């Protein structure tokens, strides 16, 4: 009979050593992980019969993320959570995610072994099934939370404070940016190929130059967007599934970078414009100009779309060849 493979996850080294030794003495094949990321790496590369994880983990993520990943990778695995200070909200969430049991610390090793044996002895246990969504669908639904996380990050950096703007004016480019990332996830392109041209990103660079902001703001905005998207993925990992994780993160990073390059091309091709006598908010000025003559504005703009596209392609070519 093959040994039972068990993944033990806890940030406390004494628990990993002590409890791991007890489980090993009871003929479990024990693999240990001291962080959520280490646990996810094991789950992605190995198959387990049992997960025994601490609920409260330091840093990003907690035991529920580990449970979600295990449910997708090994639906029939027995899953037990350990909690030193259980609270009803977390415990309820754990049960909704179909954790087999939540055990309060300090634990008695013998009782844990007994609980595992009882779960494993159940005849033909039904697999714990979770609805897996595409990363594109999740990020599309989470666009509002991504926007709020982005605004919070930009307030912390202070990158947009040089020019008076409302929150609406600060993040008016985000809906298009997120839509294009969702599109990339739904319709994969070769990474680094720059096959999709983003007029929204180009115009965003133009807008920031006209507002009198420095080019570094574009970099700060891109970084904040990438982090906000990564956080949305992390918070929905149980829905997205660990199988989609690496591809999703690479596409997000690649598309955010592509948008940044195109924003920079728009910024560099636009002559700086000052508005010393015009105290209207930047977005109001743009709307007024659009109502007067949108066609004339485009025609008179110093940004030439074909030239900008050539600039982006040359830039990418030089990066790829270096």
How deeply is 122 buried, as exposed, middle or buried, from its count of CB atoms within 10 A (0-12, 13-18, 19+)? exposed
As separate numbers, helices (DSSP H) first and strands (DSSP E) second, the chain gives 15, 5
- Does residue 270 lie in a domain region? yes
Q: Among 272, 255, 247, which residue's Cα sits nearest to residue 201?
A: 255
Tell me: do 111 and 167 sit in the same domain: no
Tell me: do 110 and 175 sit in the same domain: no
Report pLDDT for 248.
87
Phi, psi angle pair for 218, to nearest 5°: -60, -40
- Does residue 165 lie in a domain region? yes
186: its two tokens: 């739904």
The domain boundary residue, chosen from 60, 90, 121? 121
Q: Domain containing 159 — which CATH number?
A: 1.10.490
Tell me: do 180 and 104 sit in the same domain: no
Report pLDDT for 125.
54
Report pLDDT for 118.
87
Tell me: do 156 and 26 sit in the same domain: no
For the chain, what is the domain count? 2
HEC letters along 130-153: CCCCCHHHHHHHCHHHHHHHHHHH
Report pLDDT for 269.
86
Tell me: do 142 and 261 sit in the same domain: yes
Say if residues 270 and 302 touch (Cβ distance below 8 Å): yes
Report pLDDT for 241.
63
- Does residue 127 lie in a domain region? no
Show the domain range for 236: 135-321
- Does residue 247 lie in a domain region? yes
The domain boundary residue, chosen from 121, 152, 172? 121
- Does residue 129 lie in a domain region? no
> Cα dist. 303→65, 119, 221, 309 in Å?
46, 66, 21, 10
Tell me: do 162 and 62 sit in the same domain: no
Phi, psi angle pair for 57, to nearest 5°: -120, 145
Q: Which residue has the tokens 């002590």?
A: 18
- Does residue 128 lie in a domain region? no
Tell me: do 197 and 143 sit in the same domain: yes
Q: If residue 177 lies in a helix (H) or strand (E), which one and from where to where?
A: helix 174-186
Q: Domain containing 88 — which CATH number?
A: 3.40.50.2300
Taking 70 as the pLDDT cut, the residues of the chain under it are 1, 60-61, 85-98, 123-132, 238, 241-243, 271-322
CA distance 163 to 211: 7
Say if residues 139 and 230 touch (Cβ distance below 8 Å): no
- Does residue 69 lie in a domain region? yes
Tell me: do 265 and 173 sit in the same domain: yes
- Does residue 211 lie in a domain region? yes
Say if residues 10 and 112 touch (Cβ distance below 8 Å): no
Say if residues 70 and 47 touch (Cβ distance below 8 Å): no
């Amino acid at each position: 009979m093959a040994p039972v493979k068990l993944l033990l996850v806890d940030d406390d080294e004494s628990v990993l050593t002590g409890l791991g030794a007890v489980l090993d003495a009871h003929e479990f094949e024990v693999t240990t992980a001291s962080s959520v990321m280490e646990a996810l790496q094991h789950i992605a590369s190995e198959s387990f019969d049992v997960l025994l994880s601490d609920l409260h983990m330091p840093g990003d993520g907690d035991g529920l993320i580990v449970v979600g990943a295990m449910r997708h990778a090994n639906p029939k695995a027995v899953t037990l959570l350990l909690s030193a200070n259980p609270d009803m909200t977390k415990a309820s969430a754990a049960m909704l995610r179909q954790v087999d049991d939540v055990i309060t610390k300090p634990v008695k090793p013998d009782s844990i072994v007994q609980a595992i044996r009882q779960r494993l002895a159940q005849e033909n246990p039904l697999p714990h099934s979770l609805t897996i969504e595409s990363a594109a669908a999740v990020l599309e639904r989470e666009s509002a939370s991504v926007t709020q996380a982005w605004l919070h990050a930009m307030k912390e950096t202070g990158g947009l404070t040089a020019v008076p703007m409302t929150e609406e004016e600060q993040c008016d480019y985000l809906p298009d940016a997120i839509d294009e990332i969702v599109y990339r996830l739904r319709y994969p392109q070769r990474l680094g190929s720059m096959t999709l041209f983003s007029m929204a990103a180009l115009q965003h660079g133009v807008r920031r130059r006209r507002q009198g902001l420095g080019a570094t703001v574009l970099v700060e905005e891109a970084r904040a967007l990438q982090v906000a998207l990564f956080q949305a993925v992390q918070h929905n990992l149980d829905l997205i599934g660990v199988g989609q994780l690496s591809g999703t993160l690479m596409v997000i990073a690649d598309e955010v970078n592509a948008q940044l390059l195109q924003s920079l091309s728009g910024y560099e091709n636009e002559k700086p414009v000052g508005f010393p006598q015009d105290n209207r908010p930047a977005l109001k000025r743009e709307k007024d100009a659009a109502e007067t003559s949108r066609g004339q504005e485009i025609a008179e703009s110093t940004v030439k779309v074909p030239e900008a596209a050539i600039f982006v392609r040359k830039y990418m070519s030089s990066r790829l060849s270096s």
